[in-house]
Amino acid sequence: MKENKKTYWKGLEELTNQPEFVKNAEREFPEAPSVLGGEEGASRRDFLKLMGFSLAAASLAACEAPVRKAIPYVNKPVDVNPSIPNYYASTFASGGDYASIVVKTREGRPIKIDGNELSPINGKGVNAIVEASVLSLYDKQRLKGPHIDGELTDWSTLDSQLKSALGSAGSVKIVTNTILSPSTQKALDKFAESVGGEIITYDPVSNYGILKAAETSYGVSGLPTYKFDNAKVIVSFGADFLGTWISPTEFARQYVKGRKITKENPNMSRHFQFESNLSLTGANADYRTPIKPSQSGLAVLALYNALARKGGAATVSGASVEIANIDQAANELWSNRGNSIVVSGSNDPNVQIVINAINDLLGNNGKTVDFSKPSYFRKGDDEKMNKFVTDLKAGRVGGVVFYNCNPVYDFAKGADVEEGISKAKVSVSTNSTMDETASLVKFVAPDHHYLESWNDFNPRSGEYSLSQPTISPLFDTRQAQESFLVWAGESSNYFDFLKDNWSESLMGTQSEISDSQEFWDRSLYNGVYSDGSESEEVSGSVDVSAAATAIGRSYKADNAGAELSIYTKVGIGSGTYANNPWLQEMSDPISKATWDNYLTVSQKWAKDNNVKMVEGATKKAKITVGDKSLVVPVLVQPGQADGTFGLALGYGRTKAGRVANGVGVNAYELLDLSKGFVNYDITEGVSVEITSDAYKIAQTQTHQTYMGRDFVIQEATLADYKKDASAGRYQPKIYKEGEFVKPSKVSLWKGHKYSQHHWGLAIDMNSCIGCGACTVACQVENNVAVVGKQEVLNRREMAWIRIDRYYSSPEGASSNSELEKAADNPEVTFQPMMCQHCNNAPCETVCPVAATTHSSEGLNQMTYNRCIGTRYCANNCPYKVRRFNWFKYHDNKDFSTVNVAQNDDLGKMVLNPDVTVRARGVIEKCSMCVQRIQLGKLTAKKEARKVQDGEINTACAAACPTDAIVFGDMNDPESKITKMLKIEENTTSAVKEVNEERAYHVLEEINVSPNVWYFTKIRNKEKSEA
C-alpha cells in the first residue's frame, strides 16, 4: 500500500537518527522552563507570597475598579472611525526592492501591509521584508530629530550651517542606493546642481553585471523585464529569482503560473538550477546541479556552445567542464525556443553577456526576456562607486551626502568609506537611524519612514506608482527630498513638487481624465498607473567571443581550493531591515535557522572535519579571505556543492539597533572588488579552519516532528500524474466488517453539522515555494510574540504557521550511506503547516476545562481566558501546531529587546487591536483568522446579503504571492475552494466528498478529519530521483 518509497527528513539528525533528536522528538515539550535570569525555580515561600499577594489583589480589585478614560477627538476627521480600518495604496521601495502595497490603518496607525492587487508587478503578494516593514515605523531607535555632530538640534540650525558648509566644501558627492522615484531624482539633481555635486549610485546587493551587459549588448540602460510565466523551460545559474534576486515576488508569481496544474491542463514548466548554495529557487527546481562558483562561467559557456551547435552558430572556446544536466537543459531549451528563459545570478558582466547571447540564440528576447521595456530595480554602478571610495579615502572629496544608504556597513570597502568620511570637509546623511554611516557624519537630517512620506516611483518603463503618508510623522524628521529642495534653495515643498511632476509628465499619457486633480486623485487611490506606452524595438548583436575569452581567463574547471559564495537570505536581505525582530525570528526557508548567519558547508567537508551537527549544536570555523577573516558557526547544509561554502549578507550589524546589533557576522567585508564589479563568488584565497568553539544555532527544522508517521508529504512526477491523476497519493484503508474502507468511514464521532459556513484551506504544495511571507503575515495579523534566540533554542517558538521543509532521498535508498549520498543534493518539499481545524479534533477531547472547542463553522476555537495551561491539547495534537506561552512575552523586560511589538509604547502601536495579546500560561494556535471571518460575516449581514467568496481571506492566504494557500467556504458551491477540491454536492456534513485526486489530508489514516487540504507536489521529472 505504501506507494511512495522515498525517505523524508527535516534535518540530518533525523536522517541519521541521532539519539539527541530521538530524545527531543519523543518529548512533547522541552524541559520545564527555568526562571529567566538564572535563578532556581520558585520555592514554597515564593508560592505563599504570591498567594498572599493575589488574595490581596483580588480583594482590592473587588473594591475599586480602575478608572479608564475614553478620549474622543476634538475634531474627528471625517473618514477616521474608531475600530474601522482604512486602507491606503502606497509603495514600498528600499534601494531597488520594490512593492506596490495597500496599508491597513486603524485609528490612524498603520498596522498591516498587503500587496496591491492592481499592481502589474507584485500583484497581491508581498515578501517577508515588505510585510515586516510596518514594524520599522515604530522603531524606537529612529532618530527623533536632526543632529549635528551627534547632538540633537533643530532644522533651521541644520539648514543654515549645512548650506554654508556645503558652499565651501569643494567637490560634493551624493551617494545613494537605486532611486526608483523620478521626482526624487529631480529633487536630487536640483540639489546636485546647486552644489556642483555628482550623484553616485550603488546597491548593497548589486546587479551591475546585468546592467553593464545590457548596455554592452543592446545599449539599454536598465535591467530586462523577465517573464517567467511565458517560459516552458527555465534555466538559472545561481539566480535565486524566487527568493532574493531583483524582484522575487513578481518572479514567484510568474513562475507559479507555469507550475499550476490540473487534470485538464497537466502542463508545467521545467526548471533547471545550477548553483553552489542550496537556494530557495534551487529547492524548487526540478533538476538541480550543485556546481562550484569557479565553474559557473564555464557552465554558462558550455550551455552556449551546446545551443550554438544546434543552431549552427559559431561556438566559442572555453575550458570544457563536466556538469550534469547541461545537455538535457540545452536539448529542452532548444525545443522550446522563444518559450524558455536563461538567467544568471552572477554579477560578472561577461557572464551576463553570454546569457544575453543564449537568450538571443533561443529567440527569447522580447518574449521572456524583454530589454525593450527595461526595469529599473537596480541602477548601482560598482565601478563608479569603487572610484568614489578610493577618492574619499584619499581625501579628494570635499563634501559627501549619503541619501538613505549605509555604505560603511553594506559596501565591499566599508572600512575605506569609514576612514574617508572623516577626511571630507562636510559629511551629511539622511538615514533615519544612527547607523554605521550616520554615526560618522557631521550632519544627520533624518528622513521620514516610507509610511510617512509622499513619493512617486517608476520601477519599469511605463509603470508608475505613488506612495502616500499613512500616519503623521512620529518624530521631528523631514522627508529627505524636502531637505534636498531646501538645500537647493527651492521654495516649493516636496508634495507640490511631486504633484506637479506627476501631472506634467503623465497627464498627457492618458485621455480618460481631463482634470489634473482628478487624475492625481485616481492615481493615488489606485496606487499604480500604467502609461500604456508601446515598448521600442531593441536591436544589437551580442559579441560573445570577447566575453568568452574573459570568462576563460577568470574561471577554472578544476579549482581545488575552497570557494565562498556569498548570498542573501529571504528574510534579512541586504541587512537594511535587520533591526526587525519579525525578520530575525523568521526561520530561513532552507536552513530553518533563526537569529544568525553561518557558514553553510557540505556534508563531505563536515565529515572530513569531524563536525556533527545535532539539533543546532555545532562548532565555529574561521574563514579567511585574503587578509580578512571571520569566525562563524558552521551549518551542515544538504545540497551544498562540495568544496564550497556559503555565507549570508545582512548580519553583523553594529549600529542597527538593539535587535540586530551583534547578531551574526558581517560578510560584506569579504566581498571582492578587484574585477571592477562586486563579486559575490570568492574563488581564490579562501581557507576555512574548524575551531574547537562549540556553538548552537537556533534551528526550528526538527521541532514539532511527526514521530515517524509517514505520508505527510505526497508527491509524484509529472509523467506519472499524466497517467494517473492520483499518482503519489497514499490512500490508507481501514478494515471494517469484512472490507477495507476509507478511514473517514470509520468514526467514533457523530460528526458535526455546518449549516451555514464550512471554512477550510486548500494548500497547493506545487505552488508553495517556501518563501515564508505567510509566516510573517500571520505574526503581524495575530500579534504573535517574538521569543528570541535562546527561547527558540529551547524549542519554544510561537509561530502559528510554520513552513516545514522536507528533504527527500530517492526511492529505494535504504542504507545509511545511500541516504547520505542523496543528502548531498536532495529534493526539497515545502509544506505550510498550521492548525488543521480537525472535525474530530484530538485536542478538544482532552481539554479538562473545554477551553478548546469546535465551532458550527468548522473552526477549532481556542479560548485563552478559559485555558489553564495543562498542555494536554498540545500533547494530543498530531500536527504539533499548538504553542504554549511559557512566559509573559508582553511588558516583560526580559523580552524587550526581541519582542519590541509588545514591549514598548511605540512598538505596541503595530498590534492588531482585534486580536488578544495572550497571557502567560495559555496555549495558542492558528485561529484561521477568526477575527477576519467575523468581520466579513458582519459586513455581509449588515448589507443583508450572503458572504461573497474572496471577501474574507486569512492573512497567510492574502500574503501568498503564488496563491498556494486558498481560503474559503466549502459550503458555498461557487467558492474557489469548493471548485478546487471538486466538492460536488454541498451538504451540511463536516465530512465532505472531495473528488480532486491530488487533494489529501496529512495523516489521513488517523481520521482526525482536518479542514485543511493539501495538494500533492508534482515534479516535472522523467523519473523519480533525487
Partner 1 sequence: MSINRSLSRVPMKISTLVMLFFLSFGTQVFAAHPDVSDAEEAIAAGKSIFNANCRTCHRLDQKNVGPALRGVTDRHSIDWTKRFIRNSQALIASGDAEAVAIYNEYNQLAMPSHEFLSDDELLDLLAYIEYGDKADASAAAAGGEGGEGVAGGTGVPSEYLTIILGVLVLVLFLILVVLGLIISILNKYLDTQKLEEDDKQFVNQKYDFGKILKSDAFIIIITTIVIALVAKTAIDELYTVGVQQGYAPKQPIAFSHELHAGQYEIQCQYCHTGVELGKSANIPSANICMNCHMHIQNVGGKDGISPEIQKIYNAVDNDQPIEWVRVHNLPDLSYFNHAQHVVVGGVECQTCHGPIEEMEVVYQHSSLTMGWCIDCHRQTNIRFEKNEYYDKLVQLHKDSKEPLKVKDIGGLECAKCHY
Q: Which residues bind partner 1 (CB under 8 A)?
A: 58, 61-62, 65, 67-76, 81-84, 755-756, 853, 855-857, 859, 861-866, 914-916, 927, 930-931, 934, 937-938, 940-942, 944-947, 988
Q: Rounded CA gap, 709 and 1003, in Å?
A: 8
Grid coordinates of 114: 498587503
- Cβ-based burial of 730 (10 A; exposed 0-12, middle 13-18, buried ≥19): middle
From the centroid of its chain, how far is CA 744? 38
Q: How far is the CB of 581 from partner 1 (least distance, A)?
A: 23
Q: Which is nearer to partner 1, 160 or 934 (by Cβ)? A: 934
In whole angstroms, how close is the CB of 80 to partner 1 at the nearest point?
A: 10
Q: How far apart are CA 428 and CA 440, in angstroms?
A: 9
Which of residues 81 and 539 has its CB atom nearest to partner 1 in the complex?
81
Query: Closest CB to partner 1 among 472 and 755?
Result: 755
Write down the least CB distance from residue 752 to partner 1, Å: 11
Give the Cα separation of 349 and 786 in Å (integer).
Answer: 42
In the complex, least distance from residue 922 CB atom to partner 1, rounded to whole angstroms: 11
Residue 758 or 789 with smaller CB distance to partner 1: 758
Cβ at position 82, least distance to partner 1 in Å? 4
Residue 362 per-residue DSSP state: T
Nearest Cα neighbor of 115 from 990, 961, 1015 is 961
Which contacts qualify for 718-723: CB closer than 8 Å, 24 or more apart?
718/261, 718/266, 718/268, 718/1018, 718/1019, 718/1020, 718/1021, 719/1021, 719/1022, 719/1023, 720/1024, 721/261, 721/266, 721/1016, 721/1018, 722/266
**Residue located via cell numbers 494556535:** 925
Q: Is the dihedral of CA 675, 681, 686, 692 positive or negative?
A: positive
* Radius of gyration in angstroms for the set of CA atoms belonging to the chain, rounded to a whole number: 29
42 or 849: CB nearest partner 1: 849
- Least CB distance to partner 1 at residue 915 (A): 6
Our CB check for partner 1 shows the closer of 14 and 857 to be 857
> Which residue, 563, 561, 567, is CA-closest to 668?
567
**DSSP per position, 627-674:** TEEEEEEEEE-TTPPTTEEEEESS---SSS-TTTTTSS---GGG-B-T
**CB of 1 or CB of 70, closer to partner 1:** 70
Smallest distance, partner 1 to C-beta of residue 780, A: 16
Say if CB 648 and CB 285 are below 8 A apart.
no
Rounded to a whole number of angstroms, the minimum distance from the CB of residue 147 to partner 1 is: 30
- CA 946, CA 955: separation in Å to the nearest integer? 22
Q: What is the smallest separation between the CB atom of 992 and partner 1, expressed in angstroms?
A: 16
Q: Which is nearer to partner 1, 18 or 782 (CB)?
A: 782
Per-residue 3-state assignment (H helix, E strand, C coil) for 926-979: CCCCHHHHHHHHHHHHHCCCCCCCCCCCCHHHHHCCCCCEEEEECCCCCCHHHH
Measured from the CB atom, the residue of 144 and 941 that comes closer to partner 1 is 941
Closer CB to partner 1, 53 or 740, in the complex: 53
Q: Give the nearer residue to partner 1 in terms of CB position, either 696 or 937.
A: 937
- Of the two residues 203 and 972, which places its CB atom closer to partner 1 in the complex? 972
CA-based nearest residue to 927, from 830, 855, 839, 848: 855
Three-state SS across 402-464? EECCCHHHHCCCHHHHHHHHCCCCEEEECCCECCCCHHHCCEECCCCCHHHCCEEEEEECCEE
Q: Between 70 and 707, name the residue whose CB sits nearer to partner 1.
A: 70
Taking the complex as a whole, the smallest distance from the CB of residue 904 to partner 1 amounts, in Å, to 19
Q: How far is the CB of 89 from partner 1 (least distance, A)?
A: 22
Closest to partner 1 by CB, 55 or 394 = 55
Find all residues with CB under 8 Å of 238, minimum gap 6, and list them. 274, 275, 276, 279, 293, 296, 344, 345, 346, 565
Report which of 274, 229, 270, 276 is spatially closest to residue 250, judged by C-alpha positions: 229
User: Smallest gap, in angstroms, from Cβ of residue 243 to partner 1?
Assistant: 33
CB of 452 to partner 1, least distance (A): 21
- Minimum Å gap between C-beta 49 and partner 1 is 21
| Distance in Å, CB of 941 to partner 1, minimum | 4
* Residue 853 or 897 having the CB closest to partner 1: 853
Report the residue number, 80 or 152, with the smaller CB distance to partner 1. 80
Closest to 274 (Cα-Cα) out of 344, 340, 170, 198:
344
Angstrom distances, CA of residue 689 to CA of 608, 703, 739, 795: 12, 30, 62, 30
Nearer to partner 1, 526 or 986 (CB): 986
Q: Please state, in angstroms and rounded to a whole number, the distance separating the CA atoms of residues 563 and 681.
A: 7
Quickly tell me which residue has 451555514 as its cell. Answer: 756
Minimum gap (Å) between residue 326 Cβ and partner 1: 54
CB-nearer residue toward partner 1: 539 or 756: 756
Number of C-beta neighbours around residue 49 at 10 A? 12
Q: String of b and e for 777-808 (b: at least 16 CB within 10 Å)?
A: bbbbbbbbbbbbbebbbbbbbbbbbbbbbbbb
The number of beta carbons lying within 10 Å of the beta carbon of residue 652 is 23
How is 761-816 classified by DSSP, letter by letter?
A: EEEETTT-----HHHHHHHHHTTPPP--HHHHHTT----SSEEEEEEEE-TT--SH
Cell of 452: 510617512
**What is the CA angle 248-249-250, rounded to 5?**
90
Closest approach, Cβ 275 to partner 1, in A, equals 43
DSSP 987: -
Q: Nearest distance from residue 759's CB to partner 1, in Å?
A: 11
